[in-house]
Amino acid sequence: MTIRILVVDTGESALRIARSIVEMGYIPVGLYTYNNSCNRRKLFKYDVKIPDLNDYNGILKIAEDYGVDAIYPGPSFLSEDISFARIVVERGFTLINTPVNLLEKMRNRVFIKKLFKEYDLPVCNWSVVKDVDEVLNFTREHGFAVIVRSIYGGLTSVLIDEKSVRDFFDKIKTETVDKIPKEFIVEAVGNGFKYIEIQLISDGSNVIHLYDRDISILFNNRVIVCEAPSHIVNNEVRKRYLNQAVDFVKNTGFIGVCSIGLVYSIRDGSYYFVDFTPRLKREHYVSEMITGIDIVKKQLSIVFEKKLDIKQDNVSPSGCSIGVFIDTYNPFKKKYSSGIIRYYSEPHGMGIRIESIIDNNVEINPEFRDFLSSVTVCGFNRYEAIHRLENALNQYVIHGIDTNIPFIKSIISHPVFRKGYYTIDFIDRNWFDLMNEIKNMERLHAILLLSVLETSGRRIDMKSIKNRIISTERYDSRISSIKRKAWFYWIRLRRRVSRK
């Protein structure tokens, strides 16, 4: 009988996981919330609506009703929820994740810090804190910037000054009471550091790394731009910390997919180990693109076949990959958008990978906070990858709701990003530049739209033109077509001018 696997994830990675499950000969069962089911989810043999992914009993009831054999939490933070893991195993399901006994230990950041020290890995000054005052006391002794994360995962933020510390704690108070962490780890990382992650896979004896990736660009406590391998890391330094990471995983006896985080100084090449994540992460796309290895398939093999069928000698990176994550957050309005997607068109071409849960006429609920899609590109080198990503984002059309695509475009066009010397405080330090870039692009877009409308003899609604500068309106299909053509001609004109 073919194994049925329930994927407990509603974001863009759910379909990516389902694809690997199908290719392994298993049957995927999906979950979706609200009304965000779309035709592309037909990849799931069964697709079931569930209002709340925190409803453990509801998830397990669906698993029982649909004859599920295994449950895969995917890259969601449910993967680090020990209560969920225990219930899954107690109810007789196979857990596609780190074994429960290892998960209980390895998800504890304080325990990990002590292990780092025990194995002589370099670490930053750190402390356990409970509130804003204790964080500020820590910064008075060690300075900014600091990384604050909950002890049991699920929340990470880079704080660069006192205001950002207070804003962070004010924001988490708006969350449901039972979701607010009681304790945090605060680490002093200083200025001029990148956040690097090492992707690892282990069956308990055979451990391999899939090289590193740069996840320094965080916004709203999650990564929105990542690249692999890290551009400016010295090869000798990279080799050293990759070997240290592999040895660490071997010594701990860890089984499954994990990543080890470190901060790397762009000034002197020093680095410090800061985190261990015992689960699959969304940023794994870029690691797959440069190595050609399907991480989800390897994780399934470890669970069902008890072995990892690839050695480190068979892993080698090729080119550069950059990935971005698309959501509905509008940085001008400082809130998430909702509505019905009136027109949807994805970019296509060599080296472009799209993972998406949306399509035409899909409704996005006001409470939806997951990523809509991801765009991952791979090029022969970083220069080619950046230009391929730019072209892909210019071709990506989502009408009916706001998205962060303009924000991401402003990031990858910024001179600091182009040079590769961006650090963990990049967005905070360049916020006004990024917002001005978006405004300039939108103004040019509005001007081009205005000129095209005048030429076509259409009646011009100046109020709509003005609103277009700061938000996306629901235009009819004709206006949408004109906008795409206007943007296309503007890109061509800008390239010609830049060449001259």
Choose the weakest-confidence range: 69-83, 100-114, 115-129, 444-458.
444-458
Classify 143 as helix, strand or coil. Answer: coil
**CA-to-CA distance for 175 and 186, rounded, in angstroms?**
20
**CA-to-CA distance for 235 and 238, rounded, in angstroms?**
5
Provide the total of helices (H) and of strands (E) in the chain, helices listed first: 17, 23
**CA-to-CA distance for 37 and 35, rounded, in angstroms?**
6
Name beta bridge partners: 273. Answer: 262
Does residue 102 surpass a pLDDT of 60? Answer: yes
Query: Which residues, other chains included, contact 139 with Cβ-Cβ below 8 Å and sequence gap of 6+?
Result: 146, 162, 165, 188
Strand order in the sheet with 255-265: 271-277, 255-265, 193-203, 207-219, 222-228, 320-326, 373-379, 352-356
Does residue 477 surpass a pLDDT of 60? Answer: no
**CA-to-CA distance for 313 and 319, rounded, in angstroms?**
18
pLDDT tens track for 124-165: 999 999 999 999 999 999 999 899 988 987 677 888 889 989
Return the pLDDT at 467: 53
Based on the number of CB atoms within 10 Å of its own CB, is 145 exposed (0-12), middle (13-18) or buried (19 or more)? buried
Contact at 8 Å (CB) between 340 and 34? Answer: no
pLDDT tens track for 240-273: 999 999 999 999 999 999 999 999 999 999 999 9
Return the pLDDT at 76: 79
Which domains, ranges and CATH numbers included, belong to the chain?
4-97 (3.40.50.20), 106-309 (3.30.470.20), 321-499 (3.30.470.20)
Q: In the chain, pLDDT over 70 holds for what percent of residues?
A: 85
Query: Which residues, other chains included, contact 369 with Cβ-Cβ below 8 Å and sequence gap of 6+?
Result: 327, 336
pLDDT tens track for 334-389: 889 999 999 999 999 999 999 998 889 888 888 888 899 999 999 999 999 999 99
Average pLDDT over residues 64-86: 92
Query: Which residues, other chains included, contact 448 with Cβ-Cβ below 8 Å and sequence gap of 6+?
Result: 486, 487, 489, 490
